[in-house]
Amino acid sequence: MSLSRFNALQNMANRPETFLWEEERDAISIASYFGENVFGDEAMKKHLSEAAYQSVKEANLSGKKLTKSEADIIAVGMKEWAQEKGCTHFAHWFQPLTGKTAEKHDSFFTMTHDGRVIEEFTGSALVQQEPDGSSFPSGGMRSTFEARGYTVWDPTSPAFLMESGDGKTLCIPTTFVTYGGDAQDYKLPLLRSHTLLDKAAVPVCQLFDKDVTKVTATLGWEQEYFLVDEALFNARPDLVMTGRTLLGRSAAKNQQLEDHYFGSIPERVYAYMRDLETECHKLGIPVRTRHNEVAPGQYEVAPIFEEINVAVDHNQLLMDVMERVSRRHHLRVLLHEKPFAGINGSGKHNNWSMSTDTGINLLSPGKDPAKNLRFLTFFVNTIMAVHKYADLLRASIAHAGNDHRLGANEAPPAIISVFIGEALTKLLNQIANGKKTDDAAVKRAIDLIAKLPNLEMDNTDRNRTSPFAFTGNKFEIRAVGSSQNCAGPMTVMNTMMAVQLMDFKGDVDKHIAKGLDQEEAILMVVKNYIRKSKNILFEGNNYSDEWKEEAKERGLNNFTATPEALDVLGSKTAAELFGRAGVMNARELDAFYLVQLHNYVTKMNIEANTLLELIHSFVFPAAVRQQTELAQNVAALKSIGMEDAAEPQRDLLKELTKLMNTIKEGAHKLEKSLEKAHHADSVREEADIFCHKVKQHMETVRTAADALEGIVDDQYWPLVKYRELLRV
Ligand code: ADP
Ligand code: MG
């Protein structure tokens, strides 16, 4: 009998009947503790002088640099606040290109030159640190003799207290850069792209409203995840090592009945969610929505949207907190895009929009017909931006985990297209077909926009298959992977939109120079853009084969795998866009590309080696046992003259042996292809071998192993089965 599997199942069966959460916080109002672990407005007012408070605010709003003495004063206030809460350490918290977060803790305590012990936190420690970050991926930007990386405070995202067990650490959100100032992380390009979007969008807003002086991008993510019992998780080396099951026969009942989606939340999961929400609320993460997702064991959490930089930080923080809270409940959270074959994977929808300092959502049609042209402008420019830079958006979500969704038979497809709904499609067509801008039909179409909110609301069966959908007052980017840092795709979104808006302003100005009035000029440009970008619009079923054909005819790319999707980062278009925008210089872009490619190769390598271990040490030995038992049975029956009775066993033995041969042969080929990959001339070539050879052999091996699982005695099977894993 396989001990680890049955011990794990026993452990799970022994879990208590009722599940308690750590704190009964949600019995009191969330408002009473929301943000208590954040050095936000309230804490700053209490612990900073009025002048220091104002300087942080200014740094926050306009990116003004803080002086050394200002930083010193803020550091003292921050330390005072943190220590009052029992905090002993501080850490610069950053987002290296691993996709995870990183932190290096230092104690407040230090020694003076005469040997006294004091507690101190200086402005310079707040503003900049030099963690020995030499092991973070740098894409070759830091040679070993210059391995230092620097973390630099980002005052636009508030510092917070991270609680872990009894320990509390003051975390300061930072960027991570090289000695020369090149970005080594996700945050710095995001911040640059956001500044640029503001700069580009304000002049366009001012065409309609002179009062607008600032535009911010907003992001509301929806995070999908799976939960599995801790004991079962630990009994699956593949989950432990790679975050997904590399083997596993589909359970007879999975999601066919669609009885899990929005179903009642199991008590144990409910306890986890409440605990998670409490922790999030203390950290100022405004999570609000929770529900069961489509697959068994799959759930979702979503917040109220926020300014994009803070929203990205909050999602990174959330993933960390999810993991920690799950352990308290003897659960494990799976953020991988495809933990289980045969059922839905997990994504992270990114709802993106822009809003002004006058309180306007620029992608909201609104009810005032006079504002229709403004909506139309931002709406059409977004479509135009995607039309021009779809491949870059695709590249920003390319990684090994997401390959199981994009391009596999899973939502959404790898072809980037935009869904806007029937009503808007009609209106855009009318506008584009108008002969002149003062056409009655055009005017009528524009007037209708103000009636859209109702129209859109009725249009509730919004196309769920589209990777990029307009959902009433924001665009929803659905192809982002569940484990990913949102900053990647959001940087591309902001950048392409900013550059697009600059082009738009230029085009409008040209028409005005030729004598058109402003409104006519805007309409003329919008009309042109609608005509030019119509190929990116698609309302049909994005999963269908017909769409693949049609997309090809339209010239839309279908990069189904990471290596080819990433190649776009090396293109002239990418260099021009990022260079022109100043979001990533050539060195940074090159390094980013290399790091992503390297991540891909490394992940695939870990998966392949884990699979080989599973085959050699788990699957094959179980098969041998079964084979021996069958062979002994056949021989025994024969020895007493009952050869006929051995017929079914003999057939089974043949089937089993055939599968064993397929597995052995597949494993051998897998080993050979790994060797080939390791000797490749370049990381790009290596990625290709992983993508086209290694993956293929892994699939062959898996198919045979899953078939074996179906015929080997349940008592012998050493790996926790899908039907056991997919329930908590
Ligand atoms: P869905 O039907 O996709 O669940 P919801 O209205 O529940 O749509 O919104 C989903 C997410 O979109 C939430 O995180 C929400 O905060 C976010 N969202 C709503 N408005 C905006 C906006 N203007 N900008 C960015 N995100 C937004
Ligand atoms: Mg959604």
3-state secondary structure 524-552: HHHHHHHHHCHHHECCCCCCCHHHHHHHH
The number of beta carbons lying within 10 Å of the beta carbon of residue 706 is 18
Identify the nearest ligand to the CA of 303 by its number: 1
361 CA closest ligand 1 atom index: 23
The number of beta carbons lying within 10 Å of the beta carbon of residue 681 is 7
Task: Return the pLDDT at 440.
Answer: 77
Helix (H) or strand (E) holding 148, with range, is: none
Residue ranges of the chain that CATH labels 3.30.590.10:
194-584
What gap in Å lies between CA 517 and CA 502, rounded to an integer? 19
- For residue 222 the two structure tokens come to 């929806």
Closest of 103, 483, 172 to residue 322, by C-alpha = 483
Using most ligand atoms within 8 A of CB, pick from 461, 474, 476 the residue to mutate for ligand 1: 474
Task: Return the pLDDT at 119.
Answer: 84
304 CA closest ligand 1 atom index: 16
Residue 454 pLDDT greater than 90, yes or no: no
216 lines ligand 1 (CB under 6 A): no
218 lines ligand 1 (CB under 6 A): yes
Task: Give, in degrees to the nearest 5, the angle at Cα 156 between 152 and 160.
Answer: 80
Q: Rounded to 5 degrees, what are φ and ψ at 55?
A: -70, -35
pLDDT average, residue stretch 422-433? 91
CA-closest residue to ligand 1 atom 2: 471
Task: Return the pLDDT at 144.
Answer: 46
Q: How many angstroms does the Cα of residue 222 sit away from the middle of ligand 2?
A: 7
Span of 179-183, 311-315, 480-484, 698-702 with lowest mean pLDDT: 179-183
For 230-363, where are the E strands, in sequence order?
A: 287-292, 298-303, 306-307, 331-334, 348-356
Residue whose structure tokens are 């605990």: 275
Helices (H), 640-682: 647-678
What gap in Å lies between CA 139 and CA 142, rounded to an integer? 8
Report yes or no: 481 and 603 within 8 Å, Cβ to Cβ. Answer: no
User: Model confidence over 510-540: pLDDT tens digits?
Assistant: 999 999 999 999 999 999 999 999 999 999 9
**How is 384-417 classified by DSSP, letter by letter?**
HHHHHHHHHHHHHT-SGGGGGTTTTTSSS-SS--
- Give this prediction's pTM: 0.95
What gap in Å lies between CA 275 and CA 552, rounded to an integer? 48
Closest of 70, 125, 84, 101 to residue 187, by C-alpha = 101
Identify the nearest ligand to the CA of 311 by its number: 1
Task: Give, in degrees to the nearest 5, the angle at Cα 4 between 674 and 615.
Answer: 20
Residue 437's pLDDT band, with cuts at 50, 70 and 90, is: low
Residue ranges of the chain that CATH labels 1.20.120.1560:
600-725
What gap in Å lies between CA 480 and CA 289, rounded to an integer? 19
Task: Return the pLDDT at 711.
Answer: 97
Q: How many angstroms does the Cα of residue 349 sit away from the middle of ligand 2?
A: 6
194-584 classified as CATH 3.40.50.300: no
Task: Give, in degrees to the nearest 5, the angle at Cα 627 between 626 and 631.
Answer: 120
What gap in Å lies between CA 304 and CA 288, rounded to an integer? 6
285 lines ligand 1 (CB under 6 A): no
Instruction: Show Cβ contacts of residue 508 under 8 Å, excluding neighbours closer than 6 positions.
Output: 207, 518, 521, 522, 525
- Between the alpha carbon of residue 242 and those of residues 101, 246, 339, 683, the distances in Å are 18, 8, 9, 21
- For residue 617 the two structure tokens come to 């040490």
Which CATH number does 600-725 carry?
1.20.120.1560
Q: How many angstroms does the Cα of residue 567 sit away from the middle of ligand 1?
A: 32
Residue 146 pLDDT greater than 60, yes or no: no
Q: How many angstroms does the Cα of residue 305 sit away from the middle of ligand 1?
A: 6
Task: Return the pLDDT at 450.
Answer: 72
| Burial of 629 (C-beta count, 10 Å sphere; 0-12/13-18/19+) | middle
Using most ligand atoms within 8 A of CB, pick from 262, 351, 378 the residue to mutate for ligand 1: 351
Residue 577 pLDDT greater than 90, yes or no: yes
219 lines ligand 1 (CB under 6 A): yes
User: Model confidence over 4-48: pLDDT tens digits?
Assistant: 899 999 999 998 866 665 555 556 789 999 999 999 999 999 999
The pLDDT mean for the chain works out to: 91
What gap in Å lies between CA 193 and CA 589, rounded to an integer? 14
pLDDT average, residue stretch 674-694? 97
Task: Return the pLDDT at 438.
Answer: 65
What gap in Å lies between CA 675 and CA 679, rounded to an integer? 6
Instruction: Show Cβ contacts of residue 68 under 8 Å, excluding neighbours closer than 6 positions.
Output: 123, 124
Span of 260-264, 361-365, 561-565 with lowest mean pLDDT: 260-264
What gap in Å lies between CA 653 and CA 662, rounded to an integer? 14
Task: Return the pLDDT at 170.
Answer: 96
**How is 455-489 classified by DSSP, letter by letter?**
HHHH--S--TT-SEEE-SSSEEE---BTTS-THHH
In DSSP terms, 171 is beta-bridged to 91, 160
289 CA closest ligand 1 atom index: 7
DSSP assigned state of 580:
H
Identify the nearest ligand to the CA of 462 by its number: 1
pLDDT average, residue stretch 218-239? 97
Task: Return the pLDDT at 66.
Answer: 85
Q: How many angstroms does the Cα of residue 293 sit away from the middle of ligand 1?
A: 17
Report yes or no: 310 and 157 within 8 Å, Cβ to Cβ. Answer: yes
3-state secondary structure 207-241: CCCCCCCCEEEEEEEEEEEEEEEHHHHHCCHHHHH
- Of 3.10.20.70, 3.40.1190.10, 2.60.120.460, 3.40.50.720, which CATH number belongs to 33-185? 3.10.20.70
Report yes or no: 323 and 243 within 8 Å, Cβ to Cβ. Answer: no
Report yes or no: 119 and 109 within 8 Å, Cβ to Cβ. Answer: yes
221 CA closest ligand 1 atom index: 14
Closest of 89, 59, 94 to residue 74, by C-alpha = 59
Task: Give, in degrees to the nearest 5, the angle at Cα 296 between 290 and 300.
Answer: 20
In DSSP terms, 150 is beta-bridged to 177
Identify the nearest ligand to the CA of 285 by its number: 1
Q: Rounded to 5 degrees, what are φ and ψ at 711?
A: -120, -5
User: Model confidence over 309-356: pLDDT tens digits?
Assistant: 999 999 999 999 999 999 999 999 999 999 999 999 999 999 999 999
pLDDT average, residue stretch 576-581? 94
User: Model confidence over 613-622: pLDDT tens digits?
Assistant: 999 999 999 9
Task: Return the pLDDT at 523.
Answer: 93
Give first-to-last CA distance, the chain, whole Å: 24
**How is 63-129 classified by DSSP, letter by letter?**
-PPPPHHHHHHHHHHHHHHHHHTT--EEEEEE-BTTSS-EEEEEESEEE-TTS-EEE---HHHHHEE
Task: Return the pLDDT at 458.
Answer: 45
Task: Return the pLDDT at 459.
Answer: 53
Task: Return the pLDDT at 109.
Answer: 86
pLDDT average, residue stretch 391-396? 98
Task: Return the pLDDT at 285.
Answer: 98
Q: How many angstroms does the Cα of residue 354 sit away from the middle of ligand 1?
A: 13
Task: Return the pLDDT at 254.
Answer: 76
Residue ranges of the chain that CATH labels 3.10.20.70:
33-185
Identify the nearest ligand to the CA of 224 by its number: 2
Closest of 322, 312, 347, 353 to residue 185, by C-alpha = 312
User: Model confidence over 630-641: pLDDT tens digits?
Assistant: 999 999 999 999
What gap in Å lies between CA 371 and CA 390, rounded to an integer? 28
Q: Which long-range contacts (CB under 8 A, 24 or more apart) does 500-503 make?
A: 500/381, 500/382, 500/384, 500/385, 500/388, 501/197, 501/200, 501/201, 501/204, 501/381, 502/200
Dmax of the chain from CA atoms? 105
Return the axis-axis angle of helices 487-513 and 187-206, rounded to nearest 10°: 30
What gap in Å lies between CA 519 and CA 516, rounded to an integer? 8
304 lines ligand 1 (CB under 6 A): yes
pLDDT average, residue stretch 674-695? 97
Q: Which amino acid is at 558?
A: N
Q: How many angstroms does the Cα of residue 429 sit away from the middle of ligand 2?
A: 26
303 lines ligand 1 (CB under 6 A): yes
User: Model confidence over 36-93: pLDDT tens digits?
Assistant: 999 999 999 999 999 999 998 888 777 778 888 889 999 999 999 999 999 999 999 9
Residue 168 pLDDT greater than 80, yes or no: yes
490 lines ligand 1 (CB under 6 A): no
